Structure 1
């Protein structure tokens, strides 16, 4: 399923190509690209779930709060997101790429992936997908994009 999400993000969303909204046409395109229908269905459901997270009436835990708090992960979340991933999420909050709301959206989408655990590089792509879909977070998306595509060339002397 994650491969399909990456394919869609790279070929439609990230490349500024107009996104097809017809599920049948999109399913046919993905089938021709070699993906299985059951995985396509899961990926499209994942994207619909991402769109639904915009509705704070359906997800009251996403309502913004000015309170300073620490995120405590459930055992299931900690299994899915290892210490490196959780640390990266905290880092992104500290540099204000993520806020409480977008962090929760990321955790929600990670938990809906069909994966036993997630690697840091995959988490970065999930964060990009979430930020891309949140109105008003263009600056955060741009910052995250720089972090994803950053080439570490070593230390300058």
Structure 2
């Protein structure tokens, strides 16, 4: 599923540039993605659109997020730490964080892989028509072993 999401991010500059589900399914199949993987990704994207719609306009700079046990178990320490890092850096607003958590909780398996969470964060930016700055894009795309220390 995550390969499909990355393909969509790289191919379409925003969600409304994507064709309808039927046409998109045909295109993704032609590119070589499996039907199950496509359907899972499209279903997840529908959930993303719904989550973005329900959190639209909500803003609270003072919002404090406490994670429940189920969320902590599912997200894992690394993912919660990364979300906190993005928040403290001023990159992830509280309403965006809630969308990230919602969509991360929709992914089966625990704990969530950090690289998968990074794709979720990227897709949240994409769904809102926002592009993270270059340093955050580097953080989202580059694997830790690929980074150069200065």
TM range (shorter): 0.7 to 0.9
Q: With CA pairs under 8 Å and 6+ residues apart, which has the higher RCO, 1 or 2?
A: 2
3-state SS of paired residue (1:146): helix
Residue-by-residue CA offset, 1:46-74 (whole Å, 9 max, x unaligned): 11221222323xx59x82224342x2222
Pick closer, same or farther for the CA change 1:146–1:101 going to 2, 3 Å. same
Q: How does 1:13-92 map to 2 (within 5 A)?
A: 13=12, 19-56=17-54, 59=55, 63-69=58-64, 71-92=65-86
CA contact (8 A) 2:79 2:113 kept: yes
Correspondence 1:123 to 2:117: yes
Count how many residue pairs are aligned between Structure 1 and Structure 2: 146
Structure 1, unmatched stretches of 5+, are none
3-state SS of paired residue (1:67): coil
Normalising by structure 2, we get a TM-score of 0.79
Q: CA RMSD in A?
A: 2.6
Task: Give 1:142 shift.
Answer: 4.1
Pick closer, same or farther for the CA change 1:47–1:141 going to 2, 3 Å. farther
The structure with the greater share of residues assigned to helix is 2
CA distance in 2, matches of 1:7, 1:38: 16
